[in-house]
Amino acid sequence: QFTPVMAVAARTPRTRLQPRASPRRTHVRGRCTPPSSPAPGGSAPTPGSSRLVDPSSPEESADEAAAAICRFVTNNGKTKSMLQVDLYVPPIFRSDIDDWPGGIRQQFQVAAPMVERMLLEVRRVANGELDGRLTPEVIDNADAVGLWSSPKLLCVLHPTAETLNTIVERSQEPSCQVVILVNPQWTTRESQVISDFGIGPWRQRAEDFLSQFTTAFSQMERRVSGVTARVVRSYPERYVLIHEDAEIASFEDEPTLAEIKSALAESGVGDEAGGLFERLKGQFMFNANSLK
């Protein structure tokens, strides 16, 4: 039985994308090659290519995340599955000043129903393997950290460095088979002088725990070189950079901002490729979209 989290199921608009253009190129850590052609007699991608996945609504994002989680759990066999999911949460409360004037709690109102839909689909596909009452709770009200747990499954929305010890303890329960972290709020950039997890042994323990996680699904929006692009990954596919519904590049690992900028420039997209006119055009479109 599933207990709904809280009365936070904000209505989210369902938008559809226009038909996608043909893929442009595949970028592999320093080199670009033409994308692989479909296998003869069908549209399935050949080895090394990427299935272009770019959900166009919160419902589709939750369903695709669930499918990616199930693929990983199936391939992982009896080993505990430790997964991260990065959901794109549409800024439906956007103001002229901020995408989220209400902060992280406002994001929670939109993200929590997406997480619940994702978990229901995971349990449905698991066909009894992850049965057990799934109970929601808030483990940090100030930072809107939500947790859903059953004997076999643990999922945390907006996990923070301050709640990591709780997550570690709960994930180590013998019956727990699947652990999912959704939209973590910590920063793991190596360039940081002081980590969100502190220093010395505290930082090392946190990083050792997080190193066990695999990104099952990620859909992130990036504004680079005057344009808005998306980076999407659905296990076991590669990370795909998408601009205006067309594949620009694919990556084995999550691309850095520098790699995104380089791939856009090589494809003739963005400030670096189009000069002043494209930069002004991109800024105009961004401002127009922000006012919608």
pLDDT tens readout for residues 269-279: 876 655 555 55
In this structure, of 131-135, 196-200, 278-282, the range with the lowest mean pLDDT score is 278-282
pTM for this entry:
0.76
Work out the mean pLDDT of the chain and round it to a whole number.
79
Strands 227-234 and 214-224, how do they pair? antiparallel
Average pLDDT (121-126) is 92
Q: What is the C-alpha separation between 117 and 134, in angstroms, rounded?
A: 13
Position 202 scores a pLDDT of: 81
Q: What span, in angstroms and rounded, lies between the C-alpha atoms of 118 and 287?
A: 33
Which of the four pLDDT bands, split at 50, 70 and 90, describes residue 94? confident
User: Which pLDDT score, from 0 to 100, does residue 69 have?
Assistant: 97
Nearest CA-CA partner of 150 in 166, 135, 128, 167 = 135
Q: What is the pLDDT of residue 93?
A: 82
Nearest to 188 by CA among 208, 168, 165: 208
Q: pLDDT of 136-193, one tens digit each? A: 999 999 999 999 999 999 999 999 999 999 999 999 999 999 999 999 998 765 545 5
Bigger pLDDT: 108 vs 285: 108
For residue 22, what pLDDT is reported? 37
The answer, yes or no, to whether residue 31 has pLDDT greater than 80, is no
pLDDT in tens, 218-258: 999 998 888 899 999 999 999 999 998 889 999 999 999 99
> What average pLDDT does the segment 122-149 reach?
92
* Distance, CA of 220 to CA of 230 (rounded, Å): 6
Burial group, residue 257, by CB count within 10 angstroms (0-12, 13-18, 19+): exposed
Question: Which has the higher per-residue pLDDT, 65 or 273?
Answer: 65
